[in-house]
Each structure stands twice: as C-alpha cells, then as structure tokens.
Amino acid sequence: MPLSVASRALSTTSRRDHGRPAGPRRVALRLVAASGALALVLGGCVAGKVQSTPAEESSGSATAGGATAPSDLYAQTVTWEPCGEDECATITAPLDWDDATLGTIDLALERHAATGTDRKGSLLLNPGGPGQSGISFLSSAVSGIFGPEVLADYDIVAFDPRGTGASTAVRCGGGSSLDAFLTADVEIASQADLDAARARVAEVGAACLDATGPLLAHVDTVSAAKDLDLMRALLGDEKLNYLGYSYGTFLGATYAGLFPDKVGRFVLDGALDPSMTNDELALQQGEGFEKAMRAYVADCQAARGCPLTGTVDDGMAQIRQLVDRAKARPLDAGDGHTVNGSLAFYGIIVTLYDDGSWPYLTTALTEAITQNTASTLLQLANIYLDRTPDGSYTSNAMMAFTAINCLDYPVVSRSYDELLGFAEQVTAVAPTFGDQFALTAGCEAWPETSARTPAPIHATGAGPILVVGTTGDPATPYAWAQALAAQLDSGHLLTWEGEGHTAYGRGGACVSDAVEAYLLDGTVPADGTSC
C-alpha cells in the first residue's frame, strides 16, 4: 500500500501507498466465504525457516543499561524453539549500531526448515512496507510462492524488522485518536489548513515518541540492514541470501552497499530507486497509480456489468466523483459503519496491486455508484490499513511505515503556496488522485527526521544481483527497477510485462523459473529477458 514517501505516509491520513510502497501488496483478494459475504485475504511471499521461542509482543522500548558491543552480539547464542510447524527465535541487536551504550532491542525470527538433505543455507525474506511483518508473511510464501526445489534447498527465514511486529516495535497508542489520524478526511486548502495538519502530525508523533522511546530515532533502513548482517552471522551463513519485495528491495540494496562481500543470492522484486528524492517518489508513484487505474477502467469497460460508463476518461472522472461524494457525505457501509473519502480512496487503491483483484473493485464500485452503499469498499479499505471494522488495528504497520520513512527520506518544508505548486506538478501526470500524493502534511512535523542523502547504490564487489520489474507496477514503477539494475555494478534485470505490484509468485512460470534458476544455480537471465 504504498504518497510522497515520507510526506504521504505522514499525512494526517498516512496514505501508505503514495510515496513509499508498502509491498508487495499483491492483494490476491480471494472470496473465501459463502453466503454472499466478501472475505478478503492478502496473499504474499513467504520466507524460510529459522526460529526461536515465539516472541512476546514488544513493549516498544529498548533495553537500557549495560553497553553490549556489536562484536559481542555476533557471538550470542540463539535458541530455536518450536512454533507451529516452524521454529522461532529472538535475537538481540544494538539500539544504535554506532553507540553501544544506548542498549539493545529484540528482533523476532521464524524459520521454515529446508525439506531436502543438501541444504544451501538460509534465505531471508522481507515482504516490504516498510512496516510489514515478515513473520506473518511466512506461511503464505511457503505455500504459494516458492517452488519445491527452493524449499528443499533453503531454510526460509522470516523476520520482523526493527520497529515492526513482534520485534521491539514502534508504539503510538490506539483507540479512536489513532484511527482518526489514519482515516480522517483532511482538507488542505489554505496555510491555516496546512498548519493544522502539521500540528496533528506533531501531536501524534509526540505520542509515538512517548510510547516508543529512543527506538523511534533508530528504525532507519541502514540500521535494519546492519541487523540483517547480524542475522546472517547468527544463522551460520558466510553470505546472505535474500528475497526482498518493494521496500524490501531498498533494504536489500542498502545491505549490498554496506556489505558487498557478503552478498549471496539476492532477488530484489518491485524495486525502489535509492537515488530518488521524496518529491520524485511522489511524482512517479502518483503517475504509476494513474496508469494502473486507467488500465483497470479500460478492462472494466470492455466487460459486461461495469458501472463506469463512457470513455476511459469518463470512467476515471466517475471514480474521482465517488471519492469526492464520500468526502462530502460518507457512504453507508452497513452495521452502523460509513466510508468517507479517505476510506474510499484506500479501498480503491489497494486493488491496483494485483489485477486479479480488479473484480473486487468492480463489485465495490457497482455497490457505491448504483446502490449508494459501501460494504465491499470498507472491507477493501480495512485490508489496506490492517484495520478491523471497529476501528482497531491488527498490526503497527501503518505507524511503523511513517516512522521508517521519516528517517529514510528528507522532505521539503513548504508553505501552502509552494505545496500547491508541487501538487500541480503531480496532478499534471496524475489528474485523478495526484492531490492524494502531494497535498499532505509530512515528516517535516514528525519528531525524528532524516539525515540521509538519497544516492545511487553500486555495491562494487558484490556477486550477481537479480532485479525484477513489472511494466504495469503502480507502487514501484518499472523505471525504478531499470534504474536499480543499472546502478548496481552486478545488477541483472528480469522484466515481467504485466499489471500490478511485483512479479515472483504472481507472474507465472516464466518469472518463477528464471528467479528459481538463479536461487538454485546462480544462473542470471540473459540481458533483456522479458516474460
């Protein structure tokens, strides 16, 4: 669910899919219930097997006290214990890799053991976000992504990155206040509106800092990449084998830049270009979602029963009118719930991660346009947000997304007039929802901001790295995969000509065969390979 990375995640509605992709949101939405109810589940990638005791929910605060040097942590004993069909473990990492006196944090791992006898090592998995739990992604990946030979040769290891899930996590409180921050319709039509939106970001950020403590300043991607090397060593692997989707490609590329001699088999699917600024991300992701929406509308109008009439431009206008109508007067979703403009937007955008989910968008639009009801639209929005119908959240992913992005991407603090000028640039290429990517309050009001300077990553000396790009990817446009593959000294690009976010596990046998030939034998696709 990938906004202007930091700013959009940080907007008062925290639009997680507009600046920094959350990914792979490959929404594989499936109808799994009878009786006409729409039960939607997210499909995804999975990782291999490493475990310890099931990690208790983190309080979000780091362990203070004695200084444990990073070199000592590389020598720690890891205890793996059964958890379901896998094994789980908790390891200890420095809160600050540059200052051991600040204490430690916990990182939760889960391992699905290799089924064969000729084990190659561990394969670590990151599903993206930032902020998504790798552990919660593991079972679906093992059952639906990896082929049997990969599962035979590798322990698939999932982990919750610092700040997320069962690891020491970002906490921001809960209840109606947090839900309002994430879902309220916020109009920014004046300097006063912008000031009020930034004040709300600052208020929520202060609550996160109070609940999370010093960790909030240390959930950046460089720190998470150093955690990856600690995991590699504790798993007993000379080199890191890694599969990263969406934001996970940025984490993987960052690792390769820091530890090129430790790069093993690396697959980076749905790539981010690490050299881009936050503004460039917002502009290009806005354009990516515009193109994906147009592809959906054309497909819908070519089939029977589409509620969108006229031309593709007409259909795009009708979708925007629906969101504006929901903002003016929230739609009835049944059982006392309503869908406002923000929820309507989320419910629409989440289906663009996978063209297999387009029929659910058609159902939602049919209900909303012809019946003035929004039951399906609300279910889709709740999937995007990891939200339950009562307004509570099943994970901390949305706020971890904000906290990580704000440390990774410097943002420009603009006046309202300056922000409006930038929004006009975005809406020029994304007229339907460009304002959702640009007219937001952002990380300039968050308590912890970025010192990083975006730059290319070359990873000189690393072994071959496989970058996978999808031509119709809305969240991580194909040009980003081309850019990353060109930047990496040992980058090789595999192209899938398809719609939606990421390719491996979704792009058919051609993609899977190429990725798994690399994972199993180190064979990279020939230059220009396209599926």
Active site residues: 246, 473, 501
Tokens of 403: 């906290």
C-alpha span between 282 and 404 (Å, rounded): 16
The answer to whether 134 touches 101, Cβ cutoff 8 Å, is no
* Closest to 403 measured CA to CA, from 190, 217, 177, 191: 217
Give the Å distances, CA to CA, from 253 to 139, 208, 463, 501.
25, 28, 12, 18
Helix axes 416-429, 278-301, angle to 10 degrees: 40
CA proximity to 497, closest of 516, 510, 487: 510
Distance CA 446, CA 487 (A): 31
| CA dist list (Å): 128 to 178, 261, 321, 352, 480 | 23, 24, 31, 16, 15
- Rounded to the nearest 10 degrees, the angle between the axes of helix 247-258 and helix 221-234 is 70
What span, in angstroms and rounded, lies between the C-alpha atoms of 290 and 154?
39
Other beta carbons within 10 angstroms of residue 452's beta carbon come to 15
CB 267 within 8 A of CB 145: no
Q: In whole angstroms, what is the distance from residue 341 CA to residue 329 CA?
A: 9
Report CA Rg, the chain. 22
Q: Specify burial of residue 525 (Cβ count, 10 A radius: 0-12, 13-18, 19+).
A: buried
Residue type, 324: D
Q: Which residues of 464-473 are buried (b: 16+ CB within 10 A; e: fewer)?
A: ebbbbbbbbb
**Rounded to the nearest 10 degrees, how much is the dihedral formed by the CA atoms of 280, 282, 288, 289?**
180
CA atoms within 13 A on the CB side of 173: 16
Strands in 210-368 per DSSP E? 240-245, 263-269, 331-334, 337-339
Residue 266's DSSP bridge partners are 242, 465
Candidates 150, 253, 158, 247; CA nearest to 465 is 253
Integer Cα distance of 426 and 437 in angstroms:
8
Q: For residues 23 and 143, what is the distance between their CA atoms, to the nearest angstrom?
A: 19
Per DSSP, 219 falls in state -
